């Protein structure tokens, strides 16, 4: 999971995103500015010594928004920020089987329009690539398409949250049962049942356009069409599907939204979208879009496959006899200066014992020093060669195998 996190953060840095650290514990009043009542109920809460209420964060977008509106208020926009850290929820099963989950994410603050939306989606996909995932599907939708539909449907206010929740779960049985309790006309009833199935390629934009007669939904379709074009320019091609039935569970989303799925995983690995109204709640109005990756889900998926980033391995295990300790320490220090990972044994061993120690560590090379000025070098399962110690670093850094005995 840590390897996945570091791979994703390295990819974000390649796109120009800078790492920020936000608190895990926040004032409940601060989080209430950005979250709805349902999200607040899911938070773990505690009382501070002065009686004020605190909460453990259940997502990281709101803390980043507060940071941009507070300590980074003087920083010019747009800002490209990334983060990683744990989140907790009082709703077990929301993230994983545990109440604590780990996320890595990014936010592009201060940029309007499809170009920014496409950048964030494309970067999310490249982060999945960097983590080692080779099969994935990204569903891209628009929150305003659904909101436009609701504007034209006489849905009772008390049923709207339940209808939205059923749509978000794609629970069509529960949805139909809810709609049967309403005075909706048959056309409105059919519309709410049909639109979640609008998923596919660019052709669904035309199909969606035939279902709606409101400016809000039409603007959403136009924006989606442009984002789809730009994603193809990013080289995503067949990895992207358009999903007009996409509905997110956070109420701050205002535009293009997306989810990324892996093979045989029923829940999204990555989620994100545009939230242009959130920063204004903290006193710094600005458009924004971003995403996060569920590291726990990614870890579970990659453990079931042969995919995944290369785990940390050792370049060299440096063994020594009593006479070779100082040489061993100096050799390991030189290797580390060139970015190689080297472990020095903590006790003297003969060559045969050192070979067994190297195998237990899983290091690629054994370097054994006995104070003679020559190093015994074994690469992989190859035979041991001896060469002058001052040549070892040069050959290792160059990626050479041990030279013949001299």
Domain ranges of the chain: 2-303, 316-397
CATH 3.40.50.800 holds for 316-397: yes
Residues forming a β-bridge with 200: 242
Residue 317's pLDDT is 96
Predicted local distance difference test score (pLDDT) of residue 400: 56
- pLDDT, tens digit (0-9, with 9 covering 90-100), for 132-162: 888 889 999 998 887 887 776 667 777 777 7
- Choose between 214 and 106: higher pLDDT: 106
The owner of tokens 């409940």 is: 28
When pLDDT is cut at 50, 70 and 90, the band that residue 125 belongs to is: very high
Identify the weakest region by mean pLDDT among 63-72, 242-251, 324-333: 242-251
The model's confidence at residue 404, banded by pLDDT at 50, 70 and 90, is: very low
Range scoring the smallest mean pLDDT among 4-13, 121-130, 186-195, 380-389: 186-195
Query: Which tokens go with 353?
Result: 């014992």
Mean pLDDT of 108-113: 96
The pTM of the full predicted model, rounded to 2 decimals, is 0.79
Residues 6+ apart with CB under 8 A from 127: 7, 8, 11, 12, 104, 270, 293
Q: Which residue has the tokens 């929150």?
A: 143
The contacts of residue 18 (CB under 8 Å, 6+ apart) are: 79, 80, 81, 82
Q: pLDDT-derived band of residue 250, with 50, 70 and 90 as boundaries? A: low
Give whole-number Cα distances, 155 to 147, 174, 191, in Å. 12, 16, 12
**What's the pLDDT tens digit per position in 85-110?**
999 988 766 655 678 889 999 999 99
Instruction: Read off the pLDDT of each residue in 191-200 and give the average, rounded to a whole number.
Output: 74
User: 317: how many CB neighbours lie within 10 A of its CB?
Assistant: 25
Which ranges in 250-403 belong to alpha helices (H)?
278-281, 295-303, 325-337, 351-361, 389-397
Sign for the CA dihedral angle at 207, 211, 216, 218 comes to positive
Indicate the fold that domain 2-303 takes in CATH.
BirA Bifunctional Protein; domain 2 (3.30.930)
pLDDT at residue 266, as a whole number: 75
Q: Are 244 and 199 in contact (CB under 8 A)?
A: yes
Residue 67 has pLDDT above 90, yes or no: yes
């Amino acid at each position: 999971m840590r390897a996945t996190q570091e791979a994703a953060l390295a990819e974000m840095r390649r796109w120009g995103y800078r790492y920020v650290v936000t608190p895990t514990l926040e004032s409940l009043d601060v989080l209430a500015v950005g979250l709805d009542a349902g999200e607040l109920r899911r938070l773990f809460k505690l009382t501070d010594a002065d009686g004020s209420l605190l909460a453990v964060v259940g997502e990281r977008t709101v803390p980043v928004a507060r940071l941009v509106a507070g300590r980074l208020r003087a920083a010019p926009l747009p800002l490209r920020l990334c983060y990683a850290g744990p989140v907790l929820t009082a709703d077990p099963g929301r993230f994983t089987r545990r109440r604590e989950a780990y996320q890595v994410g990014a936010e592009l603050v201060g940029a309007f329009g499809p170009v920014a939306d496409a950048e964030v989606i494309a970067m999310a996909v490249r982060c999945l690539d960097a983590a080692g995932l080779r099969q994935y599907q990204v569903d891209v939708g628009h929150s305003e398409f659904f909101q436009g539909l609701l504007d034209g449907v006489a849905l009772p206010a008390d049923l709207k949250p339940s209808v939205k929740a059923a749509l978000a779960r794609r629970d069509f049985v529960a949805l139909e049962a809810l709609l049967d309790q309403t005075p909706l006309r048959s056309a409105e009833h059919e519309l709410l049942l049909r639109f979640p199935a609008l998923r596919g390629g660019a052709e669904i934009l035309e199909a969606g356009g035939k279902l709606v007669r409101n400016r809000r939904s039409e603007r959403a379709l136009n924006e989606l069409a442009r984002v789809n074009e730009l994603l193809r320019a990013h080289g995503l091609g067949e990895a992207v599907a358009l999903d007009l039935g996409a509905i997110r569970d956070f109420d701050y989303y205002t535009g293009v939204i997306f989810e990324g799925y892996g093979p045989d995983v029923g829940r999204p690995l990555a989620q994100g979208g545009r939230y242009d109204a959130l920063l204004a709640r903290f006193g710094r109005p600005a458009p924004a879009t971003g995403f996060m990756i569920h590291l726990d889900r990614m870890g579970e998926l990659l453990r079931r496959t042969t995919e995944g980033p290369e785990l940390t391995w050792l370049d060299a295990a440096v063994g020594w006899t009593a006479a070779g300790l100082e040489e061993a320490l100096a050799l390991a220090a030189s290797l580390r200066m060139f970015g190689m990972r080297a472990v020095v044994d903590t006790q003297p061993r003969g060559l045969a014992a050192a070979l067994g120690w190297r195998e237990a560590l899983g290091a690629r090379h054994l370097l054994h020093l006995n104070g003679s000025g020559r190093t015994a070098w074994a690469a992989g399962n190859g035979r041991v060669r001896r060469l002058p110690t001052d040549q070892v670093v040069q050959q290792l850094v160059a990626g050479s195998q041990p030279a013949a005995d001299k």
